[in-house]
């Protein structure tokens, strides 16, 4: 087993996919699986899977394979899904609502405790049982509740000011949907950028450079 700090980011980025696959196997009542079978279902190689799991001590047993519920639980532990990092969301528009409804309904390691918007008309609305508060209350709310993480669903034009305030009042990690470069402005905080457009542009490139494009 390598030290947790030495595990490569590419291994860490594969863990959620293992977790998701194992969740589905578990839901389908599968209790035991070989690394070969898991690899073939996931489009990986068995040695890749063994290498990834060995970074955390290895979970299989020679001749048995993996116990699915146990492995699912262990990967969940590594991903800290049972933790509830206090999280706030800024921007209760279309994206903010969708993220609140879809992303905070299952265990993720994060607990949404507050939603903020500058549009008075949205304040007081409830999203998944959480009231939308006026952004003017952000600072006091953070002092009282000490959130650690912020989800940013506002236009990048407003992000500089909001990010400075959030960092000042103790936010340590950002799930950033805006195009604003938080990491550049605040190199000491953790940032995970999510850009659906990047994914679509990548697909566009691949679609246009492979043989799937229809000739006109
Ligand atoms: P929207 O207009 O429906 O919602 C934006 C909300 O942010 C509004 O309710 C507005 O009042 C609020 N807001 C703006 N400035 C604020 C501030 N300083 N403090 C508090 N609230 C503020 O827009 P939508 O569709 O929800 O998109 C939000 C942002 O996310 C846009 O900038 C858009 O480009 C981006 N986006 C990113 C995606 C991604 O994949 N990363 C996908 C879709 C949108």
For residue 163, give Cα distances in angstroms to 12, 24, 90, 106, 192. Answer: 26, 37, 10, 27, 14
Question: How far from the centroid of its chain's Cα atoms is residue 208's Cα?
Answer: 29
In b/e form, how buried is each residue of 98-111, taking b as 16+ CB within 10 angstroms?
Answer: ebbeeebeeebebe
> Looking at residue 104, what is its pLDDT?
86
**CA 88 – CA 18 distance, rounded (Å):** 27
Please report the DSSP string for 59-76 in residue order: --BTTTBEEHHHHHHHHH
| DSSP one-letter code for 80 | T
- For a mutational test of ligand 1's pocket, the pick from 92, 95, 181, i.e. the residue with the most ligand atoms closer than 8 A to its C-beta, is 95
**CA 13 – CA 20 distance, rounded (Å):** 12
**CA 67 – CA 205 distance, rounded (Å):** 40
Residue 14 buriedness (CB in 10 A; 0-12 / 13-18 / 19+):
middle
> Looking at residue 60, what is its pLDDT?
74
Report how far ligand 1's centroid is from the alpha carbon of 134 (Å).
15
Q: Which two tokens stand for residue 169?
A: 């009042």
Please identify, by atom number, the ligand 1 atom nearest to the C-alpha of residue 161.
Answer: 18
**CA 104 – CA 106 distance, rounded (Å):** 6
Mean pLDDT per 10-residue run, the chain (216 residues)?
Answer: 72 94 96 93 92 85 86 94 96 97 88 98 97 97 97 98 97 98 97 96 94 57
CB 95 within 8 A of CB 153: yes
> Looking at residue 2, what is its pLDDT?
54
Report how far ligand 1's centroid is from the alpha carbon of 90 (Å).
8
CA nearest neighbour of 34 among 16, 72, 60: 60
> Looking at residue 59, what is its pLDDT?
82
Please identify, by atom number, the ligand 1 atom nearest to the C-alpha of residue 95.
Answer: 26
**CA 127 – CA 97 distance, rounded (Å):** 7
| Chain position carrying tokens 């947790």 | 4
Count of other CB atoms within 10 angstroms of residue 118: 16
- For a mutational test of ligand 1's pocket, the pick from 152, 154, 203, i.e. the residue with the most ligand atoms closer than 8 A to its C-beta, is 154
> Looking at residue 5, what is its pLDDT?
67
**CA 48 – CA 58 distance, rounded (Å):** 12
> Looking at residue 1, what is its pLDDT?
56
Ligand 1, CB cutoff 6 Å, lining residues: 90-96, 116-119, 122, 135, 153-155, 158, 162, 177-178, 194-197
Report how far ligand 1's centroid is from the alpha carbon of 88 (Å).
15
Please identify, by atom number, the ligand 1 atom nearest to the C-alpha of residue 92.
Answer: 9
H/E element, 101: helix 94-103
H/E element, 115: strand 110-117
């Amino acid at each position: 087993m390598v030290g947790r700090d030495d595990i490569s980011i590419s291994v860490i980025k594969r863990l959620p996919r293992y977790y998701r696959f194992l969740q589905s196997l578990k839901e389908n009542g599968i209790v035991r699986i070989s690394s070969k079978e898991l690899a073939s279902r996931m489009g990986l190689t068995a040695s890749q899977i063994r290498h990834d799991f060995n970074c955390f001590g290895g979970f299989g047993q020679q001749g048995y394979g993996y116990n699915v519920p146990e492995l699912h639980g262990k990967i969940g532990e590594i991903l800290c899904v049972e933790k509830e990092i206090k999280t706030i969301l800024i921007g209760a528009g279309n994206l903010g609502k969708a993220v609140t409804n879809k992303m905070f309904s299952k265990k993720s390691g994060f607990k949404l405790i507050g939603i903020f918007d500058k549009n008075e008309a949205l304040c007081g609305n409830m999203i998944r049982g959480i009231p939308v508060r006026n952004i003017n209350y952000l600072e006091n709310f953070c002092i009282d509740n000490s959130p650690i993480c912020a989800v940013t669903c506002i236009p990048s034009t407003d992000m500089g000011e909001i990010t400075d305030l959030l960092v000042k009042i103790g936010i340590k990690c950002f799930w950033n949907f805006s195009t604003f470069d938080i990491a550049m402005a605040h190199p000491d905080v953790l940032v995970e950028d999510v850009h659906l457009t990047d994914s679509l542009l990548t697909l566009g490139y691949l679609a246009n450079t492979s043989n799937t494009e229809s000739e006109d």
